[in-house]
Amino acid sequence: MRWEISKTFRFEAGHRVWKQNLTHGRGAQFTKEVEIPQNKCVNLHGHSYVLEVTVGSDTLSEQDMVMDFYHIKNALKELIDTIDHSFIIDTSDPMYPELKEVAEKFGALKIFPVEFCPTAEALAKFFYDFLTEKLKEARLLGEVKVVKVVLWETATSKAEYKPE
């Protein structure tokens, strides 16, 4: 892409990485000898997320832009408003049926069901796919494409998704 622009969004949300097992998987060998790892992220917890989306084009519009930042904001506004202050939960998570029931019974828990374990990596791809679909629906996908999505969970931890 000759030109790229980025737009940043902030939202608050909870989740739980129900598949976390620090004694197995990639990198487990780095901590087994040092300490007995605690699977803290299986607990219900939340983050002040920062989402950065980057779109690009090899050409500029008649207004000398890739796309106006205002339009990027509006493409994602409804999703950001929906996910903000929600609890993101995988529908395969064993806790999902009960949390859904609590949400329906008391109305004090806003759940955002997804069909994947809501890790930062998986959520970055989710936002990438969502924005790509929005560009496709607007018939802009040939002119503009999503270059990458970066999702910060904390000030020191982020995940990035970009196509091959």
What does the pLDDT look like over 132-145, one tens digit per residue? 999 999 999 999 99
CATH domain 3-161 topology? Tetrahydropterin Synthase; Chain A (3.30.479)
Q: Which amino acid belongs to residue 106?
A: F
Q: H-helix or E-strand containing 61? A: none
In this prediction, residues 84-94 reach a mean pLDDT of 98
Mean local confidence (pLDDT), 30-41: 74
Catalytic residue, from 41, 52, 71, 143: name it.
Answer: 41
The structural domains of the chain, with segments of one domain joined by +, span 3-161
Which pLDDT score is estimated for 6? Answer: 98
pLDDT of residue 25: 81
Q: State percent of the chain over pLDDT 70.
A: 96
E strand or H helix that includes residue 106: helix 96-106
pLDDT at 86 over 80: yes
Which listed residue (4, 12, 45, 85) is catalytic?
85
Q: Is residue 101 flagged as an active site residue?
A: no
Burial status of residue 51 (CB atoms within 10 A of its CB: 0-12, 13-18, 19 or more): buried
Average pLDDT in the chain:
94
pLDDT at 40 (0 to 100): 87
The structure's pTM equals 0.94
pLDDT score of 33:
66
- Give the model's pLDDT for residue 32: 66
Tokens of 44: 């219900």
Mean pLDDT across the stretch 108-114?
96
* Whether 153 is catalytic: yes
Residue 98 is a catalytic residue: no
